[in-house]
Amino acid sequence: MNLFKGNLLAIIGFIIISIILFVAIFAAFLSPYDPNYIDINSILLPPSYDHLMGTDGLGRDVLSRMLYGARISLFVGFVAVGIATLIGIFLGSIAGFYGGWIDSIIMRLVDIMLSIPSFFLILAVIAFLTPSIWNIMIVIGLTSWMGVTRLVRAEFLSLRQRDFVLASIVMGSSNKKVITKHLLPNSLTPIIVSSVLGIASAVLIESGLSFLGLGVQAPTASWGNILTDGKEYIQFAWWLSLFPGLAILVTVLGYNLLGEGLRDVLDPKNK
């Protein structure tokens, strides 16, 4: 918490994400019911003492499904961003360090990918695959690396003319050592910030895909497919849309606030 001293919004973001991560990790202990247990005697019950967030059209406890949905949504976000970050670091490092025709090819590939609306690209790819959590994570990761690539390339272009890098090259250090020991460690700030903000985007994308029926499949709970269930009863079962919608909103807001806070703290230009 001392890291964000004086930055109220970053502290709020940190607290939000900490709570959500705690809930996701300990969902099995916090959940009052089995998230997939069907109770035909408890169909579409409003929030009450027994069911704090009500029940859905199959009598399943919404709170329990929300807790397990947090685990799924965040897991997709972390893994997808991890894939995108690794690809972005690899391609950005090569483009920024070697330059020339290698840089031109990689950046034209980035331009092509950025010219295609990412969500529609993901929809097109998912349409040819079996909807599953692993396919979603891989597809989101493989279509979200462009921003990291451009950030890493820009950092490398700025750093490779610095004295400590030139001295390392003159002393006979290999390209691999220069990249891993000097350039990459000094480029971590924008990578970390981009990754934190990317998790928010991945959660939104997963929720959107699940809402459309192309994401996490029933009976596995995710915030997106809980919203899908709620749209059929939105006129009289408001809780099925309100609670997952708020969860997505708060999570994305928390990651955005945390990312902006990290940028302010880690970027020396802001000091």
pTM comes to 0.86
Yes or no: say if 61 and 37 are a contact pair by the CB < 8 Å rule: yes
Is-contact 14 1, C-beta < 8 A? yes
Which domains does the chain show, CATH number per domain? 2-39+48-270 (1.10.3720.10)
Confidence at 159, pLDDT banded by 50, 70, 90: confident
Over range 222-230, report the average pLDDT. Answer: 85
Q: What is the DSSP letter of 179?
A: I
CA 57 to chain centroid, in Å, comes to 29
Structure-token match 């959590």, residue found: 133
pLDDT of amino acid 220? 82
Q: What is the pLDDT of residues 45-82, one digit of tens each?
A: 899 998 999 998 888 999 999 999 998 888 888 999 99
Instruction: List, as one string, the DSSP characters of 106-117.
Output: HHHHHHHHHHS-
In this predicted structure, the answer to whether residue 14 has a pLDDT above a threshold of 80 is: yes
Cross-strand pairs, 55? 61
The answer to whether the beta carbons of residues 55 and 42 sit under 8 Å apart is yes
Is residue 1's pLDDT more than 70?
no
Of residues 198, 59, 232, the one with CA closest to residue 118: 198
Q: How far apart are CA 167 and CA 196, in angstroms?
A: 33
C-alpha 106/C-alpha 102 separation (Å) is: 6
**3 state DSSP class of 261:** helix
Q: Which helix (H) or strand (E) holds 175?
A: helix 175-177
Per residue in 161-203, pLDDT (tens digit) is 787 777 877 787 777 888 888 788 888 888 888 898 899 888 8
Place of tokens 């909807």: 131
Q: How far apart are the first and last CA of the chain?
A: 18
Answer whether the bond into residue 219 is a cis peptide, omega within 30°.
yes
CA distance 185 to 80: 22
Q: Is the pLDDT of residue 227 over 80?
A: yes
